[in-house]
A and B are shown apart, each in its own frame.
Chain A
């Protein structure tokens, strides 16, 4: 039994994880999702923007590789904005985000009957990262003369009176990489002091806390849990809420694996002197 446990074949564990993911997805059991303060801050800020029917800039910086975590955030934030008549300007710092955002805009705009040009505008992707933010910070319509479909941004109702980043009431960055702390804060928020909230993959979430405490960011949605909390706030459960069940179960499985692995290590393996 001892040897079987120590050099358990990797593929046996793979099957175990697959079951841990599929079974909970097939069933449903209630799990309490309590929105934390950082997620609520984004929700409240959008409510404030809605009160003065302002405009929000959303920067989509992710790819299909992080879709399961970020796409639910995109859908929830868009649904929240469209339901409260908040005008949305979308742009991408990652090329692969264009296709995913286009899908999200098509589905959510139909749900809330949001009109292109008067309720939302999509600018697509441009290269340049920090240079793009410097350019659009000071001369928005010069940097984006046309949107993704070729309409002049000077003619569209949403972007007519937007001349720079300070004209946006709220800037949200939904990111899989370090565009929030590597591009948006040093090259945009630092100069124009706009309110800045982010949704990011769980991998990037721990790195954002210094910026939250310093006030450079005013809200954070971290990973699938963050998306599920936002879905709870706008009470339209989606893939994130459904995903929390398997997520919870698999977390427990991983924790048990770590504990089991280490107990075996301390009982048997260490004497074998695998490492010091």
Chain B
């Protein structure tokens, strides 16, 4: 039984991982067809992974209601919103769930346009207010590094907006230079470092050194 719980997953990760690497270098159609099939399987499993995300969100709220943890009353709203939207999704503007989805009319689209879009858009726009208050109260040049950061931010902000052009033609040019040279250099340095890190992590996964992604204890 231990083979199934521990060794089999690591074996699968090793086989599938090494295949993923080697196929990149092999143009032969047999290898390319295998890569296509593996990628196709990956897409279908990814769909179930998204269902897992939704399923765990729902069970989280279910547990909150069962144990009446803080704010459990609001979890009913999650179920309300979810249930209503699922109903409209199945209704699919009259065609039912086994026909292609109707994306330009019907109650499902109405709910998306008038509940999800305003909520999601507003949620992110709240940050503009917090940025403004932080700009005044907390963004301090505490250290020389933070000072460089703030000066660079101010130049870039002025350069990207028409008012910068009105002040002087140099600002947009200098702001563009800041983006295309020092910013590029730092981002390329970070990118090279992060890429080596990503390769190291991938290697640890393939060779079974990294196991935390399997989750669920030993």
Which residues from chain A sit less than 8 Å from chain B, CB to CB? Answer: 8, 10, 13-14, 16-18, 31-34, 36, 63-68, 96, 98-100, 102-103, 106, 122, 124, 126-132, 134-135, 138-139, 142-143, 146, 148-150, 202, 205-207, 209-210, 212-213, 222-223, 225, 244, 247-255, 257-262, 265-266, 269, 275-276
Roughly how many angstroms separate A114 CA and B101 CA in the complex, as a whole number?
Answer: 22
**Which residue of B has the minimal Cβ distance to A258?**
B135
Contacts of A67 in B (CB 8 A): 117, 121
**Which residue of B has the minimal Cβ distance to A151?**
B100
**Which residue of B has the minimal Cβ distance to A205?**
B179
The A-contacting residues of B in range 36-84, CB under 8 angstroms, are: 36, 39-40, 42-44, 46-47, 49-50
Question: Are B136 and A225 neighbours in the complex by a CB distance under 8 Å?
Answer: no
Contact of A209 among B116, B166, B187 (CB under 8 A): B187
Nearest first, the 7 A-B pairs at minimum CB distance are A128-B43, A150-B100, A31-B162, A131-B39, A64-B120, A257-B136, A64-B117
Contacts of B104 in A (CB 8 A): 102-103, 106
Contact of B160 among A213, A225, A260 (CB under 8 A): A225
Contact with A along B132-152 (1 / 0, CB 8 A): 110111111110000000100
Question: Are A135 and B40 neighbours in the complex by a CB distance under 8 Å?
Answer: yes
> Contacts A99-B109, A209-B179 given: A148-B101 contact, CB under 8 Å?
yes
Roughly how many angstroms separate A102 CA and B117 CA in the complex, as a whole number?
Answer: 13
Question: Are A265 and B140 neighbours in the complex by a CB distance under 8 Å?
Answer: yes
Contacts of A127 in B (CB 8 A): 43-44, 46-47, 49-50
Would you give 12 A-B contacts (Cβ < 8 Å), ordered by A? Answer: A14-B132, A31-B163, A65-B120, A66-B124, A209-B184, A210-B184, A210-B188, A223-B160, A250-B128, A257-B136, A262-B150, A266-B141
Question: Are B103 and A98 neighbours in the complex by a CB distance under 8 Å?
Answer: yes
Roughly how many angstroms separate A222 CA and B109 CA in the complex, as a whole number?
Answer: 29
Known: A127-B43, A127-B50. 10 other contacts (CB 8 A): A34-B165, A66-B124, A96-B120, A102-B109, A129-B46, A131-B40, A150-B100, A206-B187, A260-B136, A262-B140
Interface presence of B191 (CB below 8 A)? yes
Interface presence of B21 (CB below 8 A)? no
Contacts of A146 in B (CB 8 A): 100
Cβ of A107 to closest chain B Cβ, rounded Å: 11
Roughly how many angstroms separate A65 CA and B121 CA in the complex, as a whole number?
Answer: 4
Contact of B150 among A139, A213, A258 (CB under 8 A): A258
Roughly how many angstroms separate A144 CA and B166 CA in the complex, as a whole number?
Answer: 49
Contact with A along B106-121 (1 / 0, CB 8 A): 0001001100111111
Contacts of B125 in A (CB 8 A): 68
Contacts of B154 in A (CB 8 A): 255, 258-259
Question: Are B36 and A135 neighbours in the complex by a CB distance under 8 Å?
Answer: yes
Roughly how many angstroms separate A33 CA and B36 CA in the complex, as a whole number?
Answer: 46
Contacts of B93 in A (CB 8 A): none
Interface presence of B99 (CB below 8 A)? yes
Contacts of A139 in B (CB 8 A): 36
> Contacts A64-B117, A135-B36, A247-B161 given: A10-B133 contact, CB under 8 Å?
yes
Contact of B139 among A8, A66, A103, A258 (CB under 8 A): A258
Question: Are B39 and A17 neighbours in the complex by a CB distance under 8 Å?
Answer: no
Cβ of A126 to closest chain B Cβ, rounded Å: 7
**Which residue of B has the minimal Cβ distance to A5?**
B136
Roughly how many angstroms separate A209 CA and B129 CA in the complex, as a whole number?
Answer: 28
